[in-house]
Chain A
Amino acid sequence: MTDTTDTESAPVEELESDQDPSAPEMSVADQRRATHDMWVSGTEDTYPFAAATDEGAQEMLPQADDPGASMQAGIAVDDDYTSEVLVDPDERQIINMGPQHPSTHGVLRLHLELEGETVRRVKPIIGYLHTGMEKTAETLTYAQGGTNVTRMDYLAPFHNELAYSLTVEQLLGLEVPARASAIRVLMTELNRVASHLLWAATQGMDIGALSMMIYGWREREICLDFFEKTTGLRMNHNYIRPGGVAADLPDGWQDDVTNLIAVVSAGIGEYEELLNENPIFLDRTMGVGVITPQECKEYGVTGPMARASGVDWDLRKAAPYCGIDQYDFDVPLGRHGDVHDRYTVRMEEMRQSLHIAGQIVETIPSGDYRAEDRKVTPPPRKRIDESMEALIHHFKLFTEGINVPEGTAYQSVEGPRGELGCLIVSKGGTRPWRMHWRAPSFAAVQALPVMMTDSLLADVVASLASADPVLGDVDR
């Protein structure tokens, strides 16, 4: 016991003496990374499996010579009745997880092929929430389409509406007023915060930090209260529409947003106090569910997952929409691509989104909240009583819909889960001929086997929660 404490403390002192005194203090997580050998999938040859902890280990041997390590890794199976180590491919068992499972975040189903406690093969099975929304969109007019698309990724309704509206506006060749764009950015960034808060709540719950469930929801309700005040609904708002937004921000919205920023920022600080130095949380997240930048690109994984691996790709910087490039914000990046880095990246993203919201409160331009195009946006209610033209436009808009010229358009936005894109093929008329969505959760679910293969069964839930898939987004 004394030996292990000595060997543990030695590198820490060495590390501290090496450090530049002006350098920022290392976080507990970074200290752990510097002093512990992390076992991640694919590095079995570099690190023996037992190196992640010295608990219960008598002596460390190279993996080839250590039967205990190969047994723990699931390569070998220990049999009490035989003296030699047995390696038996028939020892694999297949278990089914989902679609009715509290930790699958919806109705995802996983086939897991296990060797002891180690997962050797993962097969995600989707389609349990297939709603036929892309087909339904072909029967709805462009004005009705927002109601449909907002229900796809139900944790990011504003992002769905925004991608859809921008695509329709691209087909129409329509410019929206600056105030409408600012409102759109405000709502989508607050939606990112709400979505990440829900992720923090469920990620914490899935790996045993049950209080996080209550805390995350507590702050999310404040965001939802503001959404309800602005749009009339807590979810599925249909607020961002082709041509602008449905209504102007309510009276006193500046105070609401300022209060929201203060409360949620304080909340994020509380979560970090709770989790950042929590040894159980660190053990459950560090070195778990690793995905490399190369694998992210191969599987089309975007958003916080790719950024946690170090891929510097954020559509708000790479392909700005709604004038989001005029606001000052950073794109946080991770280095290790594990569950813990996804946690730090998302926490920082919430702060950055609140920072953007704070800038909008100060700089929002005055003007109209929707485009002055009577073929796209309905006239004000008062004008209908005064003007025959306005009445006709209103009637045509709500019976026939918006007439969109022939063409194909694709527009993507940076959703809370990554690149959320909408493709619309129009053959003229008031309904899309075909609509297709590029769903970030779909790519994330596709990459689950990469993260989970050769990890432990208990880490499957941690990896899944950190990918933050929304099955409404996957299946549509």
Chain B
Amino acid sequence: MAGVAAEPGFLMTTLEKGVNWARTQSMWPASFGLACCAIEMMGTGAAHNDLARFGMEVFRASPRQADLMIVAGRVSQKMAPVLRQVYDQMAEPKWVLSMGACASSGGMFNNYALVQGVDQVVPVDMYVPGCPPGPQSLIHGILSLQQLIMDGEIRNSTGVV
């Protein structure tokens, strides 16, 4: 299989498109709310902005059923190990979206308490700027991530097909 993926033929590229399309249209986020951004994340899923339009309204309480972890809010030093554990519990394929300034870089809180960017703990696929990002920003980030998956190969995070 690894050889096929290195030089994809007609069959694999067509299959890849199909699989990627299926993955993008049914990406279930884990409800991993931390702070202010979580409120905007919930707002994105609620009536006005309706995340269901992009096949993502099913926020899963269990990480084992989720494909996407939206890190919504500031990650404290005490929370970081929990965050990593939640990430490890998610099944492949999985993606991480870092929502807001605090999750992406520590934001305005450059102090003893906060992890200065969640990418120190888990690999991040997409950063969404803002403090907090509005629902439109989050939807744009999600659509960009979907495009990334659509253009990518069928691989998991370890690079093995």
Q: By the criterion CB–CB under 8 Å, are B42 and A106 in contact?
A: no
Q: Which among A131, A214, A217 is the interface contact of B76 at CB below 8 angstroms? A: A131
Compute how far the CA of A411 lies from the CA of B131 in the bound complex, rounded to whole angstroms.
27
Residues on B with C-beta less than 8 A from A217 are: 42-43, 46-48
Q: Please tell me the number of chain B residues within 8 Å of chain A, measured between CB atoms.
A: 33
Q: By the criterion CB–CB under 8 Å, are B78 and A151 in contact?
A: no
A329 part of interface (Cβ distance < 8 Å): no
Q: Which among B40, B73, B79, B112 is the interface contact of A234 at CB below 8 angstroms? A: B40
Residues on B with C-beta less than 8 A from A129 are: 34-35, 73-74, 76, 79
0/1 interface trace, chain B 75-103, chain A, CB 8 Å (1 if under): 01011001000100000000000000000
Q: By the criterion CB–CB under 8 Å, are A135 and B47 in contact?
A: no
Compute how far the CA of A475 lies from the CA of B33 in the bound complex, rounded to whole angstroms.
15
B103 CB to closest chain A CB (Å) equals 12
Residues on A with C-beta less than 8 A from B74 are: 129, 131
Q: By the criterion CB–CB under 8 Å, are B134 and A234 in contact?
A: yes
B115 CB to closest chain A CB (Å) equals 11
B146 CB to closest chain A CB (Å) equals 24
Select the residue from B33, B35, B48 with max chain A CB neighbours within 10 A: B35
Q: By the criterion CB–CB under 8 Å, are B61 and A101 in contact?
A: yes
B70 part of interface (Cβ distance < 8 Å): no
Compute how far the CA of A457 lies from the CA of B82 in the bound complex, rounded to whole angstroms.
24
Residues on A with C-beta less than 8 A from B111 are: 131-132, 135-136
- Residues facing A in B107-126 (CB within 8 A) are 108-109, 111-114
Which residues of A are interface residues toward B (Cβ below 8 A)?
A: 99-102, 106-107, 127-133, 135-136, 147-148, 151, 154-155, 198, 201, 213-215, 217-218, 220-221, 224, 234-236, 471-472, 475
Supplied contacts A128-B79, A132-B111, A198-B39, 8 more A-B pairs, CB within 8 Å: A130-B78, A135-B111, A214-B46, A218-B46, A218-B48, A234-B132, A236-B131, A236-B132
Which residues of B are interface residues toward A (Cβ below 8 A)?
A: 31-36, 38-40, 42-43, 46-48, 59, 61, 63, 73-74, 76, 78-79, 82, 86, 108-109, 111-114, 131-132, 134
Q: Ordered nearest first, which 3 A-B pairs have the shortest CB separation?
A: A217-B46, A132-B113, A154-B36
